[in-house]
Amino acid sequence: MTWYVFDEPSGAFREAARRCTEAARERYRIDVVSLPADADQQREQLTRRLAAGDESIDIIGMDVIWTAEFAEAGWIREWPTRATRRASAGRFPIAVQTATYKNMLWATPFTTNVQLLWYRTDRIRKPPKTWDEMIELAEKLDRNNRIQAQGERYEGLTVLFVSLLASAGGKVLDADGSQVSLEPEPTRKALNVMKRLATSRAADPGLSTNREDQARLAFETGRSAFMLNYGFVWPSALQNAPEVAANMGWTRWPGVVPDRPSRVTVGGIDLAVSTYSRYPELAFDAAECLASKDNQRIAAERGGLPPTLYALYDHPAVRRRLPFADLLRATLKDAVERPRTPLYTDISLAISRTLHPMRDIKPARDAARLKKAVQRALRSEGLL
Amino acid sequence: MRRAQNLKGWLLCAPALSAMALVTAYPVFYAVRLSLYRYDLRHTADPDFVALRNYFSVLSSEVWWQALWNTLLITTVSVFFELVLGFALALLMHRAVFGRSALRSAVLVPYAIITVVAALAWKFAFDPTTGFVNSLFGIERAWLNEHWSAFAVIIFSEVWKTTPFMALLLLAGLSLIPDDVLKAAKVDGASAVQRFRLITLPLVKPSILVALLFRSLDAFRIFDSVYVLTRGAHGTESVSVIGYNTLIVRLNLGLGSAVSVLIFSCTLAIALLFIKGFGTPLLRKD
């Protein structure tokens, strides 16, 4: 039994595989095969193997955005009906949704993730509630109090846009994922925020080439007041920059519209079983074991990966590792998905392409351009 | 007699020719065939024959023309600098009296570094927060954040990496010039400039053309540096990045193959231009 999953540095995944192998009592043995750390590269490797019908893949650590694509291409198996209840019981509805396509379950949710707003408690008295507030606050401070976000032309920019759009009350595609939605008012609001951030003097000068990790590094140098990022920055700051960590606060992602809480994009991985696996029944059992409560706890405790089972957020060991567990849970409750369509990669490419660099965005013009680009991507037309 | 010899020659070449056909011709023809279909790996439906529609779609897209222009710009500018610097280095290596082999190995170091690694190193070097370039010149500039400076960094990393290759090819050309000719010219009173212009340059011209051809073909396919440094953002996309996005990221085999075939035709055109247009000798004829 092989489990293709991204290279998790703490060894939590290997530990989970070891425990499940032991529990299986010789029925199966799980070997972990590491994929690159970058999600785009993981997908490239997996799609190439799956398109060629590679029998050596049994379990896939599937990024939440691949479900529709992999299901539509016939690369993963539908989750067996007898086990669907177990796969969704006690899990965040949004996490279960990411594993669902065409009203069927295709995987079991394993880990999840959402961004939070990290800020310097020694420089800001009260954390901002909205983007406007945050940008104003940062501009009032000196130049060493920048805002760190993800502005490179890649998936992270799409995530930023989708979160802003959702916070403004809009969405990219309509409910069944076949038509472009992008309502004018929310889209314009989201684009306004991006434009304002990028042209603000509080923006990092490297914004248009920054990813999650550059943002983390820049925050750790101590010259930033705000950062939008995932929870991995916390253990990293504790280790690399204790003086920054000592003054690091966390709060909910800022909203776009006053009085409306932000809605951020959900991440994480689901475990699916490959169509070409020679032992599908065993693979389902093994995947179920890997995503069990104990293994989610280990992944959270060691790797800092937020669990999909909400009860775990009360577990003392998890709370020690993720002191912001309550905030995560609250954020996950109204998190949003990225468009659920087999053509998601094309759509993401279209979005990040149209909106990069953020400082050149012209909200009125680009709302229309964006709509057109997403429409073309949805019809799989032309170059992107 | 002659015919028998010819036949023998062909027979001896046959294994090499069939190997070439297998590894080069087959993929090329397969790509051409794929480019005539609407074929997306993500859909289980059978591919549709669409004739030349994929080509129309690519050639009518501003994305393609922008990328082609970028690629040509990167190619010409970087090959120009490589030629000038490479020639200077080659002359230096040729004339160096002591430490010759040490000099040659030192010059080759950048070429030995894997492109991706070199590009990553330059990305960090030019980064406004973590890099050394800004502090070296005492400026604050986000190099990869603007169109022209991003272009400059890409071209710089390309030149840095492949100048040694150029220098080596030119050095080979220089070492073919008989010393007697230069000595005779000196005796006849030709100045250093005259010797360079009237003897060295014409005699290394074949090597220069071959070096230019190799480098232009190579530079036209630029992918790694662009991908690592900017991912094609800020209008620095090269045609290979477009091919990669279409073929590998979007799994659109038809459209992606059309892009690949067009890139292949461009390299073919460049090669023809050099060989027919400038008379680049690919084989030394005695």
Looking at the complex, report in whole angstroms how far the Cα of residue A326 sits from the nearest Cα belonging to chain B. Answer: 33
Q: Whole-model pTM? A: 0.86
Instruction: Output the six-digit token pair for A13.
Output: 């995944």
Say if residue A339 is preceded by a cis peptide, omega within 30 of 0.
no
C-alpha B80/C-alpha A138 separation (Å) is: 46
Q: Which of A152, A209, A349 has the CB atom closest to B245's CB atom?
A: A349
Q: Which of B145, B154, B247 is best to mutate for the A interface (most A CBs within 10 A)?
A: B145
Looking at the complex, report in whole angstroms how far the Cα of residue A224 sits from the nearest Cα belonging to chain B. Answer: 12
Q: Which of A47, A206, A208 has the CB atom closest to B251's CB atom?
A: A47
Contact A69 B42 (CB under 8 A): yes
Q: Is the ipTM of this complex over 0.90?
A: no
A74 in contact with chain B, both atoms CB, cutoff 8 A: yes
Q: Classify strands A108-113 and A267-273 as parallel, antiparallel or unpaired.
A: antiparallel
Q: Would you state the pLDDT for residue B231? A: 83
Residue A344 half-sphere exposure toward CB, CA atoms < 13 A: 26
A154 in contact with chain B, both atoms CB, cutoff 8 A: yes
Give pLDDT tens digits along chain A (384 positions): 999 999 998 999 999 999 999 999 999 999 999 999 888 889 999 999 998 999 999 999 999 999 999 999 999 999 999 999 999 999 999 999 999 999 999 999 999 999 999 999 999 999 999 999 999 999 999 888 999 999 988 899 999 999 999 999 999 999 888 899 999 999 999 999 999 999 999 999 889 888 999 899 999 999 899 999 999 999 999 999 999 999 999 999 999 999 899 999 999 999 999 999 999 999 999 999 999 999 999 999 999 999 999 999 999 999 999 999 999 999 999 999 999 999 999 999 999 989 988 999 999 999 999 999 999 888 877 787
Looking at the complex, report in whole angstroms how far the Cα of residue B195 sits from the nearest Cα belonging to chain A. Answer: 50
Q: Which of A153, A209, A214, A275 is best to mutate for the B interface (most B CBs within 10 A)?
A: A209
C-alpha A124/C-alpha A251 separation (Å) is: 12
A357 in contact with chain B, both atoms CB, cutoff 8 A: yes
**What residues does A99 pair with on adjacent strands?**
none
Contact B43 A342 (CB under 8 A): yes
Q: Would you state the pLDDT for residue B2? A: 74
Instruction: Output the six-digit token pair for A327.
Output: 């905030």
B238 in contact with chain A, both atoms CB, cutoff 8 A: no
**What residues does A146 pair with on adjacent strands?**
A224
Count of residues making up chain B: 286
Give residue for tokens 């790996």. Answer: B41
Please name which of A273, A271, A277, A275 lies closest in space to residue A55, comparing C-alpha atoms: A277
**A230 and A171 Cβ atoms separated by less than 8 Å:** no
Q: What is each CA distance from A39 to A43, A84, A268, B243, in whole angstroms? A: 6, 26, 10, 20
> Which residue in chain B has the smallest CA separation from A380?
B252
Residue A278 buriedness (CB in 10 A; 0-12 / 13-18 / 19+): exposed
**CA A364 to centroid of chain Cα atoms:** 28
C-alpha B46/C-alpha B66 separation (Å) is: 32
A198 in contact with chain B, both atoms CB, cutoff 8 A: no
Q: What are phi and psi of A111, to 5 degrees?
A: -125, 160
Segment B238-263, tens digit of pLDDT: 999 999 999 988 888 999 999 999 99
Q: Would you state the pLDDT for residue B127? A: 84
Segment B21-69, tens digit of pLDDT: 899 899 999 999 999 998 888 776 778 888 898 999 899 888 899 999 9
Other beta carbons within 10 angstroms of residue B282's beta carbon come to: 11
Contact A217 B57 (CB under 8 A): no
Q: What are phi and psi of A270, to 5 degrees?
A: -115, 155
**What residues does A109 pair with on adjacent strands?**
A270
Is a pLDDT exceeding 70 seen at residue B286?
Answer: no
Please name which of B86, B78, B75, B76 lies closest in space to residue B163, comparing C-alpha atoms: B86
Q: Which residues of B touch A381 (CB under 8 A)?
A: 57
C-alpha A136/C-alpha A131 separation (Å) is: 8
Q: What percent of chain B has pLDDT over 90?
A: 45
Contact pairs from chain A to chain B, CB under 8 Å: 91
A47 in contact with chain B, both atoms CB, cutoff 8 A: yes
SS3 content of chain A, % helix, strand, coil (to 5): 45, 15, 35
Q: Which residues of A touch B232 (CB under 8 A)?
A: 153
The end-to-end CA distance of chain A, in Å, is 38
DSSP secondary structure letter of residue B247: I
**A306 and A125 Cβ atoms separated by less than 8 Å:** no
Residue B284's pLDDT band, with cuts at 50, 70 and 90, is low
Sign of CA dihedral A164, A166, A170, A173: positive
> Which residue in chain B has the smallest CA separation from A74?
B44
Q: What is each CA distance from A289 to A67, A283, A313, in whole angstroms? A: 20, 10, 19
What domains lie within chain B, and their CATH numbers? 24-60+238-279 (no CATH), 70-232 (1.10.3720.10)
Contact A217 B231 (CB under 8 A): no
> Which residue in chain B has the smallest CA separation from A354?
B233
Q: Which of A357, A381, A384 has the CB atom closest to B233's CB atom?
A: A357
Q: Which residues of B touch A214 (CB under 8 A)?
A: 127, 129
Please name which of A210, A276, A267, A221 lies closest in space to residue A243, comparing C-alpha atoms: A221
Residue B285's pLDDT band, with cuts at 50, 70 and 90, is low
Q: Classify strands A267-273 and A59-63 as parallel, antiparallel or unpaired.
A: antiparallel
> Which residue in chain A has the smallest CA separation from B54?
A382
Across B74-92, average pLDDT: 94
Q: What are phi and psi of A107, to 5 degrees?
A: -165, 170
Give residue for tokens 């050394």. Answer: B132
